[in-house]
Amino acid sequence: MKLRTLVLAAFTLAALGACDNSGTGSNSTDSASTTTENTTSASNTTTKTSVEVPTPTRTSFEARYPTASNVTWAHYEADVPIDWQWIGWPTLDESDYVATFGMDNSNYWVWYDDQGNWVGTFTEVSSSGLPSAINNVIQSQYANYTVTSVKKENDKNRTAYEIKLENGDNKVKLLVDENGKILKKKADINGEKTKEKPVKDSIPK
């Protein structure tokens, strides 16, 4: 009787041990599979939403815009929210970088070349944010016009404002520095277009 009891006990222990090992193996496999899927998913997200930005470029950006939020980096593309030739910035290509970000309740775009050099920054602003010198120019030369958009652009040489104005079918586009000097002008007045050039006299209203 004792022998039979011992044999039954040994058999029971062996069966329990086999079940434990089987369960552990199953759990380990499931865990590894889940980890792999998460890693793959994260990798795909990173690839789609970001680019490798050189450390000097990122350091320069963070020093210039320490309060920037929601920063997104990408390679430069020709489809940009500004007239690149109009403002006269250096030609860039896909080896260069652009970052979009938020700051002071406004949206910004900033460009860097492939050497980490800052090229320029652009943001849309309201007409109420124009320097007084520019407001004086608008009031004296375009009193009957309505400001429809203002874009602030600055690089290492200057800060300028691209201003679009309308008076009925008449349209004017100005590039004015912060001191009120008109750097460039395009106009469509009474169906006649003027070429891009600095102008000192006023446009017919």
The answer to pTM > 0.85 is no
Q: Does domain 126-194 have CATH number 1.10.3720.10?
A: no
Inter-CA distances, 176 with 18, 119, 130, 180, 200, Å: 83, 19, 10, 6, 12
pLDDT at residue 50 in the model: 66
> How far, in Å, CA of 167 to CA of 37, rounded?
59
pLDDT at residue 196 in the model: 58
Domain boundaries, the chain: 1-49, 55-122, 126-194
Instruction: Give the mean pLDDT per block of 10 residues along the chain (205 residues).
Output: 42 46 41 29 34 92 96 88 84 92 94 94 91 94 94 93 94 95 90 60 35
pLDDT at residue 195 in the model: 62
Pick the CATH number of 55-122 from 3.30.365.10, 3.40.50.300, 3.10.450.360, 3.40.50.1820: 3.10.450.360
